[in-house]
Amino acid sequence: MGINKVILIGNLGKDPELRYTPGGQAVATFPLATTERWNDKNGQRQDRTEWHNIVVWGKLAELVNQYLKKGRSAYVEGRIATRSWDDRDGVKKYRTEIIANQVQFLGSSNSSANDLGPSMMDQNIPGFDIAPVEPNSGATVVDEDLPF
């Protein structure tokens, strides 16, 4: 038994891309940047940015596509998944993604990344305006997704 849960707060690296599966299910993808900041032993400010591949399904994917844009801050909650495929040359490729089941839009819709201050982690999160998200707008959870 284990737990696979991820919570991220960061900024979108580009606008979400919305597609539909052959069965009509909406899926949106976007990169999310999280930045860790610290002072090194010499007192110099250091930054390390990690990029996360976010995947959102269903109605939530459509909302993400409608309301989130490059530079906008978001809270993302979900699970880590790694998928693999063979490229045209038969080389095995891997991609690690965050399958989001909850996304909250942080800041105002007309905010840019610069309007949100130097770092989300330097801010008091309750001070941000959180745009309304429809109740239960997350992706459908099936029994296989539950950790128990």
**pLDDT tens-digit readout, 69-98:** 999 999 999 999 999 999 999 999 999 999
* DSSP character string of 31-60: EEEEEEEEE-TTS-EEEEEEEEEEEEEHHH
Is residue 146 assigned to a domain? Answer: no
**Structural domains of the chain, count:** 1
Q: Which residue range is the domain that position 30 belongs to?
A: 6-138
Percentage of the chain surpassing pLDDT 90? 70
Residue 124 lies in a domain: yes
In a domain, 1, yes or no: no
Q: Is residue 35 part of a domain?
A: yes
- Global pTM value: 0.70
Close Cβ partners of 117 (under 8 Å, ≥ 6 residues apart)? 123
In a domain, 96, yes or no: yes
Residue 145 included in any domain = no
User: Six-digit token pair at 40?
Assistant: 């090194």
Q: Is residue 143 part of a domain?
A: no
CATH number of the domain bearing residue 69? 2.40.50.140
128 has a pLDDT exceeding 90: no
